[in-house]
Amino acid sequence: MTVAALLPKAWKKRLVDTNVERLRDRDLAWADVALISAMHIQRDSLAAIVERCARADCVLSSVGPSPAAFQRPN
């Protein structure tokens, strides 16, 4: 939410908290960019979201301890 507050007000934003709701394909189809954050305990979920973003051709930006250590296989 902090990052969302820094973005231009005219930009449409949507929050999907995958701790309490499922990320749907239509959420990724709607988005031009996905901003994600995760802790190490969420690394499996993070990897799945990264793969889904890649398949949806959605630009991805990630922050947090797990994304900083995450390397996508070639």
State the pLDDT at residue 73.
Answer: 58
Q: Which residues lie closer than 8 Å to 67 by C-beta, 6 or more apart?
A: 36, 37, 38, 46
Q: Give one DSSP letter per residue of 7-34, joined into a string.
A: S-TTS------TTTSPPPHHHHHH-SEE
Predicted confidence at residue 70, as pLDDT, reads: 60
Q: Which pLDDT score, from 0 to 100, does residue 74 have?
A: 57
What pLDDT is attached to residue 51? 92
Q: What is the pLDDT along the chain (74 residues), one digit of tens a residue?
A: 788 888 899 999 999 999 899 999 999 999 988 988 888 888 888 889 989 999 999 888 877 776 666 665 55
pLDDT at 21: 94
| 71 neighbors 46 (Cβ within 8 angstroms) | no
Q: What is the pLDDT of residue 71?
A: 61
Q: What token pair was written down for 7? A: 């973005």
